[in-house]
Amino acid sequence: MIPPTQPTPSYMLRYHENNLHAEVAKALLKGWYSRWRLDTSERSEQIHRQSTTQIVLVEHTNTTDSHFTLIGASAIEIYLASNRGLCSTSDKRLLARQIQFRNSIKELLNDALPFINLCKGKIPEEDSETTKYQENFLRSIKNFIKFHENALWQNGSTGYYFESRVTFVEVALTVTINLIRSLL
């Protein structure tokens, strides 16, 4: 990767400690030469009320008192990806497809988590609830693979989902697979 030629803004990322949905935003910030920090200060009353899946990004620019606050993992990912050329900014249909694929990756993670959490120290055959989650997760994986293989094939088997370059979809998929592996 080539570092940006213009000075980049600095970012502050704020989220609850165990928020898995913040991992893609962190990867986008780390991988594309952003100056950023994790807000570990005492959170304000507003932050205490935010849900455990909520993440907040505050962008500071070089101008005095100029900052931009964005709330929500999906919005933050699209914003960071568009700033780095990792999503379509001119083709609305392509951007909608990229968001559709990103959502399918989130669904895979959401289907994986209950199964992974229930399996800690259990054998699926011994527990009917774990077996139910296992079946749901396996069904989700099969659908996920079928959907994504078709998309890769439709793109000419370039190895990329869209065009012939990395987009935030590939970043999100890599982060999610690594996250699932680390939880197993």
Q: Tell me, yes or no, whether 67 and 25 share the same domain.
A: yes
User: Domain of 51: which CATH number?
Assistant: 3.40.30.10
The SS3 of residue 42 is coil
Confidence (pTM): 0.78
Torsion 110-116-173-55 (CA) sign: positive
Q: Tell me, yes or no, whether 67 and 39 share the same domain.
A: yes
Among 15, 20, 23, CA closest to 51: 15
Instruction: Tell me if 59 sits within 8 A of 8, measured CB to CB.
Output: no
164 secondary structure, DSSP code: T
Q: Which of 27, 53, 83 is the last residue of a domain?
A: 83
pLDDT score recorded for residue 1: 47
Determine whether 154 is exposed, middle or buried from the number of CB atoms within 10 Å of its CB (0-12, 13-18, 19+): exposed
Helical (H) or strand (E) element with 171: helix 168-183
The SS3 of residue 38 is strand
Q: Tell me, yes or no, whether 130 and 71 share the same domain.
A: no
Q: Tell me, yes or no, whether 45 and 101 share the same domain.
A: no
Q: Tell me, yes or no, whether 134 and 176 share the same domain.
A: yes
Successive 10-residue mean pLDDT values, the chain, 184 residues? 58 76 87 78 50 71 72 89 89 92 89 78 62 82 90 88 90 90 80
Instruction: Tell me if 7 sits within 8 A of 59, measured CB to CB.
Output: no
Residue 162's DSSP bridge partners are none
Number of domains in the chain: 2
Helical (H) or strand (E) element with 156: none
Q: Which of 83, 114, 142 is the last residue of a domain?
A: 83
Q: Which of 83, 118, 135 is the last residue of a domain?
A: 83
User: Domain of 138: which CATH number?
Assistant: 1.20.1050
Residue-number span of the structural domain to which 134 is assigned? 92-183
19: in domain? yes
